[in-house]
Structure 1
Amino acid sequence: MLEELLIHKPDDPIEFMINHLKQNNDDAPRICVLGPPASGKTTVAMWLCKHFNAIRVSQETLLFKEVLMQTEEAKAYKERNQKIPNALWANLIQERLSNVDCIKQGWILEGFPENQEQAWMLQSSGIFPRHVVMLYAPDTVLIERSGGKRLDPLTQEVFHTTFDWPSDPLVQQRLVKPEDLSEQEVSKKLLEYHRNFPEIFHIYQKVLKSINADQPSVDVLSQVLAFVQTRHRSAAPFTPRILFLGPPGSGKSLQAALIAQKYDVVNICCGQLLKEAVADNTKLGELIKPYIDSGCPVPDNLVLKLLTERLSALDCLSNGWVLSGFPRDVEQGEQLQKAQINPNSFCFLGEERGPAPGEEEIEPWPDKCSRWPNCGREKRVFFFHLPYESIMERLSQRRTDPVTGERLL
């Protein structure tokens, strides 16, 4: 919304934002799929449309499937074998993307922009993709692919005589060879693409990911999906509020200490906080002391009151905090929300099970926490699988230094 305000600079910002909320769906996908000829743009775009129920916008759809104000003018250029002007393409795209279905469902823009001028025109029209997928492959591979490319005129799906031949005989019969697929024509298009590629890459570099198209289509699609489902980091400042959850022995205290040291946030261990309150002879400490002396759990209302008081301190409000040891169950978590203690990062350090069959091990926690600042305002959940046997081994071999309080194995 702020982006639209900066672009349009309306006289009445409040009314503009109200209309924006009525007419726009900020969660809808806005994706550009770019790449050289025969790199698989159509396959990727159609697959993304099916996955997100989004609208596919390409040269073919704009010229032959849509009835837009300037469609006939663009067709006239096509019939005369003349290049369609960039301004005309930009107008067609702007008109199509302003329709209700594209606003509500999102859009996948295939093959656009083709050059720097088109990219600038789209930006001046307020069209900014959230994700740009740039496919690439060696020219020799692309030229070989283009020779076997076949098109289904009914569904517009693309197949290949070697790599992706349809099993349905009816589909096989209606496949046609696209025009301009001679090696000379493909080489000419590749040359033009390589000439324009660096400028487009520079414009969209912050939202762009290059993906190797010279691999099985399943791998390409999985990489594309993983990228377009990510949200980009927000540059807006925020105070980190981190919550560590996990079974005993999963390393909550250690990782909290490392995070607090590296990013200068306040490390709050719930158990340690209770002991400090008792040692300082505070009013809450006097209420808590009998429970600790008897080995009974401290009531949740006392723990919450102590936590609320500590997290409201100036150092926590200014630097942020990392909390471990609370909540321990769903009820405590709900009470934490009612007390308006809302973390913006969740880290689950371990589950009392090993990886499920066929499930991959997650990368080590130090690698994860090194990227912690990139989480922006999003809530990230990190699962660290820890088998029950490992938990028991850690707890049974844990030793505590009575002087420093440090835990060792």
Structure 2
Amino acid sequence: MACNVNVVHQAAMASAIGQPNKPSQRPNASLSAPSNSKPKSCCKLLLSSQSSFISGFSPSRPQTLTPFRSSRAQNFPVVGSAKAEPLRIMISGAPASGKGTQCQLITQKYGLVHVAAGDLLRAEIASGSENGRRARECMEQGQLVPDEIVVMMVKERLLQPDSKEKGWLLDGYPRSSSQAIALKELGFKPDLFILLEVPEEILVERVVGRRLDPITGKIYHLKYSPPETQEIASRLTQRFDDTEEKVKLRLNTHHQNVEAVLSMYEDITIKVNGSVNKEDVFTQIDSALTQLLDKRQATSESLAA
């Protein structure tokens, strides 16, 4: 009876591929079982699996096709687990709120590309370009640099391959609702907006005592983070906008604009106490980023399942 089923099956398969219905040749006697022996269990398994496989094509029972398992190697494509999208983070705060320090700690742990709008502006000023000259005039008066200057610099940096691959940490930008709207229109949306909050009297003290090493680019503070050697101390400079008069102008501008910016990102904003030591500040930020990554990884795994 098993042989009759096999012949019918071979005939059906031959007809399906357009080949003549030829009887199967008798195998070599030395390899075939005696005519009176019972069918092998592997033959039953193959027939049963093939019948099950073919029944999946029944028009009366539309189903998702699932190939039967076989001990032989199959050439089916292997689908890997989905890779989570890189993080896109914005961090904001008044001058000397500790953004630079926290950005360094964040990038060290999470590998994000640090994009500082202030550094981009200062590089433009140092180049002596017309945009740099206009930017310097605005900064000296404690005003925001025109959007058309800053937006394009930020856009170009965020579109660099390293930013797209590793994710980015946008430091000190946007500083106004118009800048936030411009970024949104360009397709840049953060996953998290971090706001550092520090009392104004502490901010002024931090700014006035801040010094820059022009060789290494490292920021020191005469009270909180003094230079390691006298040689370094002798070459430190004060940024032109780090005087008490200018920082108060900048703080006024910051307070006038921060609420408008927060309204654009209120559903993804966390407020962090920036007046404590840097380790405690980072603990607050690290907790939020870890939760964000865990949630994103869980989502990626569920989509890949």
Normalised TM-score (structure 2):
0.62
Task: Check the 8 A contact 2:207/2:242 in 1, yes or no.
Answer: yes
Task: Quote the Cα distance in structure 2 between the aligned partners of 1:47 and 1:201.
Answer: 23
Deviation at 1:171, TM superposition (A): 3.8
| d(CA) in 2 for partners of 1:90, 1:57 | 13
Larger Rg: 2
Does residue 219 of structure 2 align to residue 158 of structure 1? yes
Question: Structure 2 matches for 1:4-403, cutoff 5 A?
Answer: 27-63=85-121, 72-81=129-138, 84-231=145-292, 377=299
Distance 1:143 1:93, change over 3 A: same
Any idea what the Cα deviations from partners look like across 1:37-58, whole Å, max 9, x if unmatched? 1111111112222222322212
Whole-Å separation in 1 of the counterparts to 2:197 and 2:212: 21
Confirm or deny: 8 A CA contact 2:88 2:168 kept in the other structure.
yes
Q: Tell me, in whole angstroms, the C-alpha distance in 2 between the residues paired with 1:162 and 1:76.
A: 32
Is residue 87–residue 118 contact of structure 1 (8 Å, CA) maintained in 2?
A: no
Distance 1:215 1:80, change over 3 A: closer
Tell me which amino acid in the other structure corresponds to 1:154.
I
CA root-mean-square deviation: 3.0
Aligned mates of 1:78, 1:30 — CA distance in 2 = 26
- The Cα of 1:89 is off from its aligned counterpart by 1.3
One-letter amino acid of the counterpart of residue 52, structure 1 = Y
Cα drift, residue 146 of structure 1 = 1.3
- Tell me the CA shift for residue 195 of structure 1: 0.9
Structure 1: how far apart are the matches of 2:291 and 2:282? 15
State the 1:103 CA deviation.
0.7
Q: Which amino acid aligns with 2:120?
A: L
Ranked by relative contact order (alpha carbons within 8 Å, sequence separation 6 or more), the top structure is 2
Unaligned runs of 5+ in 2: 1-82
CA offset digits 1:84-104 (Å, max 9, x no partner): 311331121111111101111
The structure whose residues are more often strand, as a share, is 1
1:228, distance to aligned residue in structure 2 (A) = 2.1
Distance 1:97 1:71, change over 3 A: farther
CA distance in 1, matches of 2:116, 2:154: 9
Deviation of 1:169 after TM superposition, in Å, equals 4.6
Distance in 2 between the 1:220 and 1:214 partners? 8
User: Per-residue deviation at 1:172?
Assistant: 3.3
Question: TM-score, length-normalised on structure 1?
Answer: 0.47
Cα distance in 1 for partners of 2:261, 2:294 equals 21
What amino acid does structure 1 have at the position aligned with 2:204?
I
| Deviations 1:216-256 (CA, angstroms, capped at 9, x unpaired) | 1111122122222222898xxxxxxxxxxxxxxxxxxxxxx
CA gap of 1:170–1:59, structure 2 versus 1, over 3 A, is farther
- SS of the aligned residue for 2:265 comes to helix
Describe the superposition over 1:260-308 as per-residue Cα deviations: whole angstroms up to 9, x where unpaired: xxxxxxxxxxxxxxxxxxxxxxxxxxxxxxxxxxxxxxxxxxxxxxxxx
SS of 1:163's equivalent in the other structure is coil
Distance 1:232 1:106 in 2: 12
Question: Aligned AA for 1:112?
Answer: Y
Tell me, in whole angstroms, the C-alpha distance in 1 between the residues paired with 2:248 and 2:121. 24
Contact 2:135-2:146 within 8 A present in 1 as well: no
* One-letter identity of the residue aligned with 2:171: E
CA shift, 1:155, in A, is 3.6
Alpha-carbon spacing, 1:233–1:194, altered in 2? closer, same or farther (3 Å) = farther
In 2: Cα distance, 1:203 partner to 1:119 partner: 7
Mapped to 2, the partners of 1:58 and 1:64 lie a distance apart of 10
CA distance in 1, matches of 2:99, 2:210: 13
Distance 2:214 2:228 in 1: 17
- Tell me, in whole angstroms, the C-alpha distance in 1 between the residues paired with 2:215 and 2:122: 13
Q: Name the structure 2 match of 1:263.
A: none
CA distance in 2, matches of 1:168, 1:27: 43
